[in-house]
Amino acid sequence: MSILQILAPFDGWCGTLDEVPDPVFAGRMLGDGVAIDPTTGILVAPCAGEIVTLPASAHAVSIRTAQGIDVLVHIGVDTVQLGGRGFDARVRPGASVRAGDELIRFDLDVVARGAKSLMTPILVTPMDGLRLQQRRAPGLVSSGEVLFEIAGIATAAGIETSTPPPRAAHAPKEEAAAHTLIVTLRHGLHARPAALLAQRAKAFGAQASLSAHGRTANARSVVAIMALGVRQGDELSIQASGADAPQSVASLVAGIQEALRMESAAGHGAAAGTAPDSSKTAPTAAPRPLAAAGVLGGVIAVPGIAVGRATRIERREIAVAEHGADSGRERAELEQARINVRMRLERVAATGGATRREIIAAHLEFLDDPQVNEAAHESIAAGKSAGFAWRSAIRRSISALQALEDSRLRERVDDLLDVESHVLLALAGEARPMNIPLPERAVLVADDLLPSELTALDRARLVAICLSGGGATSHVAILAAAMDIPMLVGLGSGIRDIADGATVIVDADAGTLQTAPAAPAIEQARAAVESRLMRRAKTLAEAQIECRALDGTRVEVFANLGNVTDAAAAVAHGAEGCGLLRTEFLFIDRETAPTEAEQLAAYQDIAAALGPRPLILRLMDVGGDKPLRYLPLPAEDNPALGLRGVRTALAHPDLMRTQLRAALRVRPAGNVRLLIPMITDAAEILAVRGVIDELEAEIGIADRVELGAMIETPAAALMASGLIREVDFLSIGSNDLTQYTLAMDRGHPELAGRTDALHPAVLKLVAAAAGAGAAAGKMVAVCGGVAADRLAVPLLLGLGVRELSVVPAAVPAIKRQIRSLRINDCRELALRCLDLASPGEVRAQAAEMLESLGDMQ
Ligand code: PEP
Ligand code: MG
């Protein structure tokens, strides 16, 4: 275990950072430490190391210790304004110093008169997983006395985490927790899991960090997490210290599981869907073909064919002055610019689809990234302008990513550049144009393209994108996939020779760009584009028709929704209704509970987007792996078995009543049905029904709203015949049902291959629930991920399920598959499978049946 002591740099009164009249220091934006009001004007080194910053104004100094930790001493507040008056540096940047060496002399009177405050922060910046302990209690301190100790320092063997820090008798209760796991995410800790983890880390007071490859990252910083370069199979340690350290570590572990779940959900959707899948996470990259004359070979980012005119867009360099006028003002300007960018991005996200929202969420994380912001604030403190500081902070993160071997992480560079330019434009009082005009049938030709540039382009006129550089898994490629725009990357510098306006053929199925095609080739390519459009229109048109199996049995195909944009996508893909609105996702990122009016507005928008189609609105399923910031739940040893779903709702009746009141007021009333999550017995249903009855009487609603229960626990499945008496329908949540049946965490990275909903034990429970529904003449649906699994579809229908609710993009393929199935064949298959020994055997039987039907997708 390695500990470093930080000593008082001068005599004075030692206090806390809260006493520094500057939100940056008091808010610990730069790091943690203490503050001293000096009584002498000789600043000595608080530790040994190298002087890394000592601006000409000599009002601050930072030392990098042998362990790579930066300790900053900033004399007073706003003292940069003195321009060096009253300060005298005694060493130069780059010098090696020992603890106690004299660094700066300053004239207390001059500085006191010119500064807002003399309170001097002594900080560790950034904290990067470090912990401070043995903090000196407020009171007089003499130069050279210990101010605090730094623990959690990376050593040659890794990071010391397992031993909790010794507690000072007077220190507040500090806890430490750690967990080590193997990352099984296909692409390692790339931007999305990093963003997910950073968000989770921010929800806790504990200082959490992640370590891998002997490096440590602040868990709140997406940039720092990505820069760890964690790939599939790498060992990752998660550690935290602070009052809620165990909960923080547990939540980060759950975050990795959630990322894994999202990854496999995206995989399922893609497997089942033929329509462009907006949940696609990484388009497939194909190798670059050999080039011929007039043909450039590239990497396929989004497949497709297009014929159009080569078009370039201009990108303006944003100039920034290096030096700032006044650090306070520069800081305030940077803050304001970030606020403006945030508001703008949030507005764009609100009107975009799921993919755009996810990408903007990643950009918002970069915008708030503590590592980037700390670096920018440091530069501002050293006299740089807000723009210069922001650009250099971003560029520093970019260099860290570029040094990694992982091309996926290097592809995040475009996102950082995008965020950089948003903020620089905002500082200049401008914003990125929302609409960049294009000529008809434009093939965009460029070296690279930022996500916000793509979304600003006129989609109706853009037929393809060709980049000399870029990556097939960059966010801009993911966006292009969601917008269904064929895209080639890595075409090389040859594309610079293409004349503006030249007709080109983009064959993003073959990975080629024909730069000077002859007339017959153009004609042939246009015909291919035409027939592709017709095929797609046919699949979509068929998806709009009500779905029946080959023998005429009616099967409803609904969509799972999280917001109004999903609802529009669901309708476009032929969903016959919403089988599961995960209402918790509408309000997850809030600091306060949504009001009845806010909820009503959100639900009503979704109902309107669905038109006459039914909307099954699930009551907030919070707790477990879905915490809400505004609903502090007690720490639990095993949250998956704790207060979640209906249990949380019954424990917080006010929240439940507000939601129910909003849901009951959605119009048209008959279209809305309510669904209760995580039921284990009929008493829970009766309790909720009782509240609904009361509210219906209060509001004056004559017709009882239809009510359903989720079958997510083995108890509910086994009790289904009793439960169904109290409800109008059942909906099987196979994700949770599988986890609770197999006693395998649904997101456990090492159990991912075994947490299979086609396990015969799970199928038996599905059979019990479906059988209860059939006996009572009531609908039994499946809304868990298994509903979009093509091998599962015949089994579920064979067991008696008559409604499947899947991600919107999967609806057309599921409908097409159902139309090819006969229920009797499905029933026979299901009966055979119930007696098999493993999910592998079940899958093999289902695959055999589909193959015999010619369904080989
Ligand atoms: C399920 O458990 O299958 C389900 C649909 O609910 P969620 O995935 O939201 O927990
Ligand atoms: Mg569930």
pLDDT in tens, 501-527: 999 999 998 889 999 999 999 999 999
Interatomic CA distance for residues 786 and 225, integer angstroms: 32
CA 384 to chain centroid: 32
Nearest ligand 1 atom to the CA of 737 is 2
Give pLDDT, residue 292: 57
Give pLDDT, residue 164: 34
Give pLDDT, residue 56: 78
- Count of other CB atoms within 10 angstroms of residue 385: 21
* Residue whose pair of structure tokens reads 């049905």 in the numeric block: 673
Confidence band of 275 (pLDDT split at 50, 70, 90): very low
Which residues are near ligand 2, the ion (C-beta closer than 5 Å)?
712, 733, 736
Helix, strand, coil % in the chain, rounded to nearest 5: 40, 20, 35
Confidence band of 264 (pLDDT split at 50, 70, 90): low
Q: Which residue's CA is the closest to the ligand 1 atom numbered 10? A: 736
Which ligand approaches the C-alpha of residue 786 most closely? Answer: 1
pTM as predicted: 0.55
Is the pLDDT at 558 greater than 60? The verdict is yes
Q: Report whether 244 contacts 173 (CB < 8 A).
A: no
Nearest ligand 1 atom to the CA of 734 is 3
Angle at 596 between CA 592 and CA 602, to 5 degrees: 90
Give pLDDT, residue 849: 95
Q: Which residue's CA is the closest to the ligand 1 atom numbered 3? A: 733
Nearest ligand 1 atom to the CA of 732 is 3
Nearest ligand 1 atom to the CA of 785 is 3
Which ligand approaches the C-alpha of residue 678 most closely? Answer: 2
Q: Report whether 482 contacts 356 (CB < 8 A).
A: yes
Quote the ligand 1 centre to 737 CA distance (angstroms).
8
CB-based contacts of 169, cutoff 8 Å, min separation 6: none
Quote the ligand 1 centre to 622 CA distance (angstroms).
11
Give pLDDT, residue 405: 66
- Residue 118 DSSP SS3: coil
| Residues counted in the chain | 857
Confidence band of 155 (pLDDT split at 50, 70, 90): low
Interatomic CA distance for residues 579 and 317, integer angstroms: 48
Is the pLDDT at 73 greater than 80? The verdict is yes
Q: What are phi and psi of 65, to 5 degrees?
A: -80, 170
Q: Which residue's CA is the closest to the ligand 1 atom numbered 4? A: 733
Nearest ligand 1 atom to the CA of 739 is 2
Interatomic CA distance for residues 767 and 734, integer angstroms: 12
CB-based contacts of 580, cutoff 8 Å, min separation 6: 558, 560, 561, 616, 618, 675, 731, 783, 805
Is the pLDDT at 192 greater than 90? The verdict is no
Give pLDDT, residue 287: 43
Angle at 514 between CA 509 and CA 517, to 5 degrees: 125
CA 317 to chain centroid: 30
Nearest ligand 1 atom to the CA of 733 is 3
Interatomic CA distance for residues 444 and 69, integer angstroms: 46
CB-based contacts of 314, cutoff 8 Å, min separation 6: none
- Gyration radius (Cα) of the chain, Å: 30
- Residue 360 DSSP SS3: helix
Residues carrying an active site annotation: 475, 783
Closest to 737 measured CA to CA, from 707, 770, 779: 770
Letter for the amino acid at 40?
T
> Which two tokens mark 14?
């030692």
Quote the ligand 2 centre to 147 CA distance (angstroms).
49
Q: Which residue's CA is the closest to the ligand 1 atom numbered 6? A: 733
Quote the ligand 2 centre to 660 CA distance (angstroms).
19
Q: What are phi and psi of 604, to 5 degrees?
A: -65, -40
Q: Ligand 1, residues 561, 647, 783, 786: which to mutate, most atoms within 8 A of Cβ?
A: 783
Q: Ligand 1, residues 736, 739, 783: which to mutate, most atoms within 8 A of Cβ?
A: 736
Give pLDDT, residue 354: 66
Quote the ligand 2 centre to 695 CA distance (angstroms).
26
Pocket of ligand 1, beta carbon within 6 A: 580, 582, 621, 712, 733-736, 783-784
Is the pLDDT at 400 greater than 50? The verdict is yes
Q: Report whether 783 contacts 815 (CB < 8 A).
A: no
Q: What are phi and psi of 707, to 5 degrees?
A: -125, 140
* pLDDT per residue as tens digits for the range 76-130: 887 877 778 889 999 988 889 998 999 999 988 888 887 888 899 998 887 777 8
Q: Ligand 1, residues 583, 620, 710: which to mutate, most atoms within 8 A of Cβ?
A: 710
Is the pLDDT at 830 greater than 90? The verdict is yes
Quote the ligand 1 centre to 735 CA distance (angstroms).
5
Q: Report whether 108 contacts 54 (CB < 8 A).
A: no
Quote the ligand 1 centre to 734 CA distance (angstroms).
7
* pLDDT per residue as tens digits for the range 357-398: 778 888 888 999 999 999 999 999 999 999 999 999 999 988
Closest to 151 measured CA to CA, from 140, 173, 166: 166
Quote the ligand 2 centre to 494 CA distance (angstroms).
51
Give pLDDT, residue 622: 87
Q: Report whether 150 contacts 69 (CB < 8 A).
A: yes
Q: Which residue's CA is the closest to the ligand 1 atom numbered 1? A: 733
Q: Report whether 120 contacts 102 (CB < 8 A).
A: no
Quote the ligand 2 centre to 621 CA distance (angstroms).
8
Mean pLDDT of 134-159: 78
Lowest mean pLDDT among 37-51, 158-172, 418-432: 158-172
Nearest ligand 1 atom to the CA of 746 is 2
Q: Ligand 1, residues 262, 618, 621: which to mutate, most atoms within 8 A of Cβ?
A: 621
Give pLDDT, residue 271: 31
Q: Report whether 514 contacts 294 (CB < 8 A).
A: yes
Closest to 454 measured CA to CA, from 481, 480, 418, 478: 480
Q: Ligand 1, residues 268, 561, 582, 796: which to mutate, most atoms within 8 A of Cβ?
A: 582
Which ligand approaches the C-alpha of residue 626 most closely? Answer: 1
Is the pLDDT at 749 greater than 80? The verdict is no
Is the pLDDT at 285 greater than 50? The verdict is no
- H or E element at residue 146: strand 146-151
Quote the ligand 1 centre to 57 CA distance (angstroms).
59
Quote the ligand 2 centre to 622 CA distance (angstroms).
10
Q: What are phi and psi of 462, to 5 degrees?
A: -95, 120
Nearest ligand 1 atom to the CA of 584 is 9
Is the pLDDT at 274 greater than 50? The verdict is no
Q: Report whether 103 contacts 97 (CB < 8 A).
A: yes
Q: What are phi and psi of 828, to 5 degrees?
A: -60, -45
Is the pLDDT at 410 greater than 80? The verdict is no
Interatomic CA distance for residues 537 and 530, integer angstroms: 11
Give pLDDT, residue 163: 34
- H or E element at residue 60: strand 60-64
Mean pLDDT of 428-443: 81
Which ligand approaches the C-alpha of residue 731 most closely? Answer: 1
Letter for the amino acid at 851?
E
Q: Which residue's CA is the closest to the ligand 1 atom numbered 9? A: 582
User: Read out DSSP for 306-323?
Assistant: EEEEEE----PPPP--SB
- Count of other CB atoms within 10 angstroms of residue 23: 11
Q: Report whether 794 contacts 851 (CB < 8 A).
A: no
Is the pLDDT at 691 greater than 90? The verdict is yes
| Sheet containing 235-242: order of strands | 175-182, 235-242, 207-212, 215-218
Closest to 797 measured CA to CA, from 577, 531, 547: 547
CA 148 to chain centroid: 36
User: Read out DSSP for 468-532?
Assistant: SS--TTSHHHHHHHHTT--EEE---GGGGGSPTT-EEEEETTTTEEESS--HHHHHHHHHHHHHH
Provide the β-strand partners of residue 307: 505
Nearest ligand 1 atom to the CA of 786 is 3
Mean pLDDT of 624-642: 79
Interatomic CA distance for residues 413 and 406, integer angstroms: 12
